[in-house]
Amino acid sequence: MFRTEYRKIVSVLSYRFGIEHIELAEDIVSDTFLAATESWSTKGVPDNPTAWLYTVAKNKTKNWLKRDNFFQQKLLTDLRHSIPEGEEIEIDLSARNITDSQLAMIFTVCHPSIQAEAQVGLALNLLCGFGIQEIADAYLTTKTVIYKRLSRAKEKLKEAEIKIQQPTVTEINERLEVVLKTVYLLFSEGYYSTSHNTVLRKELCVEAMRLCYLLIEQELTNTPAVNALMALMCFHASRFDARMDNTGDLVLYQEQDESLWNRELIERGEYYLHQAGASPVLTRYHLEAAIAYWHTHKEDSAEKWENILDLYNQLLILEYSPVAALNRTFALAKARGKKEAIKEAEKLGLTENHFYYSLLGNLYTDIDNGKAIQHYETAWKRANTPADKALMEKNIEQIKERLNS
Amino acid sequence: MNEFLLVFRRDYKTKEIQPSPEQLQAHLNRWREWFAELKKEDRLARPPQPWESKGKVLGHDKSVTDGPYAEIKESIGGVTVIRAESYEEAVKIAETCPIFELGGTVEIRMAAM
């Protein structure tokens, strides 16, 4: 509840004060929660804790404005246009204004002048209410690194004088793509992170989906691409519990226990994919969501792999990436056989990429096991994480066992 | 039984090390459990009282500034009065206090005659 309310109040205050005073907003909110900790630990939690927090946040804001003359002058100059003479500043913490503020904040954080990595950090901090420590855990780095990164990004926002305001139709068209990219990055950070903190990783995924839902709820931002991204995240998230064992190690798709797949999320995904298909627009999220949809059918079938292959072909035309090219080749092997896939794979020549060798290892298995082992060994050398290395060792082991028996 | 004043201090200023909202919420729960435990064992000499985190400081020349002290990082997070036989016992009780999770300290003073 602290985290949820934190991000709501920060958004509302920043929306009210403007980006120049974002630190003040954060200070007031931190102070509010500190006061709650003090008071509730001795007196007990009040009947309506949210109302308590809102009242205290409002009072602290007013006290701040009264106390700090310098600040009052500066802030009031900034706000003058919106406050009638002689009236006290009002902080509107209604549900409507909270949503508006958060939406405005998403478009601020995802401003093109901010680097993608910093955007995700800012989103985690300002839009999701994560602390420095939690963000550092997610990125497997130190608090100092994250603190600096966030401070720099906030400076950037201030320098660029980006307004926190309701995005116009033009701005939505211009920036929605960056917004979606950030939301997807946030999701991927949780989904693919090598951090063993499963609870935290899951929360990142949930937060990304929440932000996406916020966009779906607004008429202007409820576009096919937003729905497609939501579908994609639902399909992926449905396997969250199945793709990790008790120790937090990765379980490969083929070895996953299907009964652990979350049916409800798959159904939600199907719903959003259907919504996304309501217009002829086709984005990478549509294609990726459709690929993810087929992966919710575990059983191999000609139909499944032909469809996936076709979708990857379209995706590569729309937006080439080495990962998509490798995945497309895997789909080709499933649809048309390994021999054809090997020919295509070797044309890719992605010799810097350990997934490339891992794919070749897979394709050569049972066709030329000597070569398969060689490729897996190269992949092992290039792999960056212990998890990837362990996987390669396992593959080599399995081929050797088969050769011996 | 003697009465002991416990003064909890922690660095509330260095931004980098402040707990996240989530951590603060967990921390709050630990304080509640701690006070509940003290109450159960009849250790609380006064009902717990929260104090505002900021106040006023009077300087040597009686000039008034907004507190806590700007010069030192650590400031008082709270005070409470407990019952214990001796310093030894008071220290034992204070050791279980949640302030240490966030790098704080406890100062203990026995009520003088």
Least confident of A21-30, A61-70, A363-372, B11-20: A61-70
Shortest Cα distance, chain A CAs vs residue B62, angstroms: 20
Residue of B nearest to A10 (CA): B21
CA atoms of A303 and A314, how far apart (whole Å): 17
Shortest Cα distance, chain A CAs vs residue B19, angstroms: 7
CA atoms of A120 and A183, how far apart (whole Å): 8
Selection from A219, A231, A125, A209 nearest residue A166 by Cα: A219
Average pLDDT of span A326-340: 91
CA atoms of A207 and A205, how far apart (whole Å): 5
For residue B94, give the 3-state DSSP assignment: helix
Least confident of A136-150, A289-303, B22-36: A136-150
Least confident of A105-109, A111-115, B3-7: A111-115
Look at A3 and B77 and tell me if their CB atoms are within 8 Å: no
pLDDT, residue A375, reads 93
Q: In what order do the strands lie in the sheet with B2-11?
A: B74-84, B2-11, B105-110
C-alpha dihedral sign at A231, A236, A242, A247: negative
Ranges of beta strands (E only) in chain B are 2-11, 56-58, 64-66, 74-84, 105-110
B12 contacts on A by Cβ (under 8 Å): 34
pLDDT above 90: residue A140: no
Number of Cβ atoms within 10 Å of the Cβ of A367 = 12
- Chain B residues contacting A via beta carbons under 8 Å: 12, 15-25, 27-28, 31-32, 35, 48-53, 66, 77-78, 80
Cis peptide leading into B68, omega within 30 of 0?
yes
Summarised one tens digit per residue, pLDDT across range A256-280 is 888 999 999 999 999 999 999 887 7
Check if the beta carbon of residue A128 is closer than 8 Å to that of residue A7.
Answer: yes
Number of Cβ atoms within 10 Å of the Cβ of A268 = 19
- Chain A residues contacting B via beta carbons under 8 Å: 1-3, 5-6, 30-31, 33-45, 67, 129-134, 143-144, 147
Q: Best of A7, A28, A37 to disrupt the B interface by mutation (most B CBs within 10 Å)?
A: A37
Task: Output the 3-class SS for chain A.
Answer: CHHHHHHHHHHHHHHHHCHHHHHHHHHHHHHHHHHHHHHHHHHCCCCCHHHHHHHHHHHHHHHHHHHCHHHHHHHHHHHHHHCCCCCCCCCCCCHHHHHHHHHHHHHHHCCCCCCHHHHHHHHHHHHCCCCHHHHHHHCCCCHHHHHHHHHHHHHHHHHCCCCCCCCCHHHHHHHHHHHHHHHHHHHHHHHHCCCCCHHHHHHHHHHHHHHHHHHHHCCCCCCHHHHHHHHHHHHHHCCCCCCECCCCCECCHHHCCHHHCCHHHHHHHHHHHHHHCCCCCCCHHHHHHHHHHHHCCCCCCHHHHHHHHHHHHHHHHHCCCHHHHHHHHHHHHHHHCHHHHHHHHHHHCCCCCHHHHHHHHHHHCCCCHHHHHHHHHHHHHHCCCHHHHHHHHHHHHHHHHHHHC
A133 contacts on B by Cβ (under 8 Å): 19-20, 23
For residue B7, give the 3-state DSSP assignment: strand
Look at A41 and B22 and tell me if their CB atoms are within 8 Å: no
The model's confidence at residue A81, banded by pLDDT at 50, 70 and 90, is: low
pLDDT above 80: residue A77: no
CA atoms of A208 and A215, how far apart (whole Å): 11
pLDDT, residue A82, reads 58
The values of phi and psi at residue B57, to 5°, are: -125, 130
Token pair listed for A264? 């409800």
Look at B32 and A40 and tell me if their CB atoms are within 8 Å: yes
Q: Which of B15, B20, B35 sits opposite A130 (nearest CB)?
A: B20
Site of tokens 């995945």: A327
pLDDT above 80: residue A385: no
pLDDT, residue A85, reads 52
pLDDT above 90: residue A83: no
What is the number of CB-based contacts under 8 A between chain A and chain B? 75
pLDDT, residue A80, reads 52
Average pLDDT of span A355-380: 92
**A119: CB partners within 8 A, 6+ apart:** A109, A110, A153, A178, A182, A185
The values of phi and psi at residue A46, to 5°, are: -65, 165
Shortest Cα distance, chain B CAs vs residue A211, angstroms: 19
pLDDT, residue A360, reads 94
pLDDT, residue B31, reads 92
Q: How far does CA A45 lie from the centroid of its chain?
A: 33
Token pair listed for A19? 């980006």
pLDDT, residue A68, reads 65
Residue of B nearest to A151 (CA): B16
Shortest Cα distance, chain A CAs vs residue B112, angstroms: 25
Look at B48 and A40 and tell me if their CB atoms are within 8 Å: no
Summarised one tens digit per residue, pLDDT across range A236-247 is 999 988 888 877
Look at B51 and A43 and tell me if their CB atoms are within 8 Å: no
ipTM at complex level = 0.79
Residue of B nearest to A33 (CA): B21
CA atoms of A253 and A234, how far apart (whole Å): 16
A37 contacts on B by Cβ (under 8 Å): 24, 27-28, 31
Shortest Cα distance, chain B CAs vs residue A265, angstroms: 26
Summarised one tens digit per residue, pLDDT across range A203-248 is 889 989 999 999 999 888 999 999 999 999 999 999 988 888 877 7
Summarised one tens digit per residue, pLDDT across range A117-129 is 788 888 888 888 8
pLDDT, residue B95, reads 95
Selection from A300, A353, A297, A362 nearest residue A325 by Cα: A353
Task: Specify the pTM.
Answer: 0.79
Selection from A315, A316, A388 nearest residue A357 by Cα: A388
CA atoms of A128 and A9, how far apart (whole Å): 11
Q: Which CATH class is domain B1-13+42-53+69-113?
A: alpha beta
Which of A52-66, A104-118, A278-292, B57-71 shows the highest mean pLDDT?
Answer: A278-292
Least confident of A17-21, A255-259, A400-404: A17-21
Selection from A209, A198, A203, A197 nearest residue A241 by Cα: A198
The model's confidence at residue A84, banded by pLDDT at 50, 70 and 90, is: low
For each of chain B's 113 residues, which pLDDT tens digit applies?
899 999 999 988 888 788 888 888 999 999 999 999 999 999 999 988 888 888 888 888 888 888 787 777 888 888 999 999 999 999 999 999 999 999 899 999 999 87
Look at B20 and A43 and tell me if their CB atoms are within 8 Å: no
Look at B21 and A40 and tell me if their CB atoms are within 8 Å: no
Average pLDDT of span A88-98: 79
B52 contacts on A by Cβ (under 8 Å): 35
The model's confidence at residue A92, banded by pLDDT at 50, 70 and 90, is: confident
CA atoms of A164 and A25, how far apart (whole Å): 13
Q: Which of B16, B28, B51 sits opposite A37 (nearest CB)?
A: B28
CA atoms of A33 and A49, how far apart (whole Å): 11
pLDDT above 80: residue A368: yes
A2 contacts on B by Cβ (under 8 Å): 21-22, 24-25
Residue of A nearest to B14 (CA): A147
Check if the beta carbon of residue B21 is closer than 8 Å to that of residue B92.
Answer: no
Share of chain A above pLDDT 70, in %: 94
